[in-house]
A and B are shown apart, each in its own frame.
Chain A
Amino acid sequence: MITTDILIIGAGPTGLFTVFEAGLLKLKCHLIDALPQPGGQLTELYPKKPIFDIPGFPAINAGALVDNLMEQIKQFQPGFTLGETAQTLTKLEDGTFEVITNKGTVHHAKAVAIAGGLGTFEPRKPVLDNLSAYEENGVEYFIKEPEHLRNKKVVIAGGGDSALDWSIFLADIASEVTLIHRRNEFRGALDSVEKVQALKDQGKIHMMTPAEVRGLKGDGKLSAITIEKEGEIFDLETDYFIPLFGLTPKLGDIANWGLEIEKNAIVVNNALDYQTNIPGVYAIGDVNTYPGKLKLILCGFHEATLMCQSVYNMLNPGKKFVLKYTTVSGIDGFDGSRKEAEKAVVMKID
């Protein structure tokens, strides 16, 4: 079981910065995220896009901002549960919380901060009649263990980086890789496009463009897909069909936790501390809503800061807290490190 002071659900910029503000108050944090890496939307959707409204940075790429945040919070040694989604939230008799993920990982915390952004990123699924019948029976949206595709026939659909990258990767593992895309053009890194072209020329990847998957066939287990290519419809034998059409956010299980939800966002008391209708559970960043809400990273940072003060006061009732400035008091990391401003030299000049 993982035990922490603040359990943060969502490792986007707001969740990451929460670790820093909590650390200043000597509160430990652990983060859960459905994605396999921290960064949320910034890493998943637009790592190379510039952001222009982060104070102090005239322009910073989303990926670089995540790197900076990770560096900033390193000294506070946050824990991460990545690639898992928070499924259940239970308030225990002593007022603490238990959160269990879809993979059964148990987390115990004194407070919960939901920083889920737009929600859990789920694969965008193609519109096919019997798709759900074949999910986990030949249809996969994430390639978790490439080894189980060894010597199998694999069809990948999509026109972006994921489709290209996995086609390249599986070319040496699968017995047959077919890449299907609606267009002849692919939207991906030039390097990836060139690699796929080379593998196609070597006969290691079969390309089918412009074409679309129209149906799935099999007897409990996928055995073929129906393809439409330039007006012609035919079947192609395959062991696996992997549609890679990007991800779409859904609020997911959080919506079933008894929180007050309004327009796909969690209602909080912004006048105070971004607490939800469940005392001890907070919602910060893009996932929350209140009068005047702005879905901006810098607002998420502000909300995280106020929320941490509230958690501190909740955990230390009656204890007087004096706001400290990092320039004055420095930072003591949980790893034993200390950062502080250089002392001024005071000398007499004769």
Chain B
Amino acid sequence: MQDITLKITDRNGDLHEVVAPTDMSMNLMEVIRSYELAEEGTIGVCGGMAMCASCQVYVVEGSDKLTEMGAEEDAMLSEAFYVQENSRLGCQIHITEDIDGLEVAIAPYP
């Protein structure tokens, strides 16, 4: 198991290159929170249950690295705002070696 590198553009448009561990059962929303790339209270509001879309991200690069969207994530995005073709929920993207190099941008907070 090794750490991976992710590129995350915050809501101010600033790009951050961060390192994330693959051995801590983390998801992308938790990585964003731990690096404080979004204001606390505006990310992961529901705790990571695909129930609020506060962790919506746009996949800029590496969509082929991601697992397919589950039904709950798909349903939540069907009701979320600012949704684009490349939208995903950060809480449903698990940090594994497969997504090394993934680049995302955090969607606006609804």
Listed in ascending order, the chain A residues whose CB lies under 8 Å from chain B are: 41, 45-46, 49, 118-119, 124, 126-127, 158-160, 181-183, 185, 187, 245-246, 248-249, 251, 263-265
Contact = CB atoms under 8 A, between A and B. Distances in A.
A59 to B, nearest CB: 15
Nearest to A251: B41
Contacts of B110: 124, 248
A119 B40 CA distance: 13
Given A45-B46, A45-B51, A263 B78 contact: no
A267 to B, nearest CB: 13
A249 B45 contact: yes
Contacts of A126: 81
Contacts of A159: 75, 78-79
Contacts of B3: none
B54 A182 contact: no
A181 B78 CA distance: 8
Contacts of B42: 264
Interface string B19-54: 000000000000000000001111001100101101
A228 to B, nearest CB: 14
Given A124-B110, A248-B54, A265-B41, A49 B49 contact: yes
Given A159-B78, A187-B78, A118 B45 contact: yes
Contacts, number: 55
Given A124-B110, A181-B78, A185-B78, A246 B52 contact: yes
Interface residues of B, number: 18
A24 to B, nearest CB: 30
A271 B51 CA distance: 34
B49 A45 contact: yes
Contacts of A124: 81, 110
**Which interface residue of A46, A159, A246 has the most chain B CB atoms within 10 A?**
A246
**Which interface residue of A127, A159, A248, A251 has the most chain B CB atoms within 10 A?**
A248
A106 B72 CA distance: 42
A182 B79 contact: yes
Contacts of B46: 41, 45-46
Contact of A245 (B54, B75, B79): B79
B109 to A, nearest CB: 9
B81 A127 contact: yes
Contact of B52 (A119, A185, A248): A248
Given A159-B75, A182-B78, A185-B78, A264 B51 contact: no
Contacts of A246: 51-52, 79
Contacts of B49: 45-46, 49
Nearest to A49: B49
B105 to A, nearest CB: 18
The 3 A-B pairs at the shortest CB distance, nearest first, are namely A264-B41, A187-B75, A263-B40
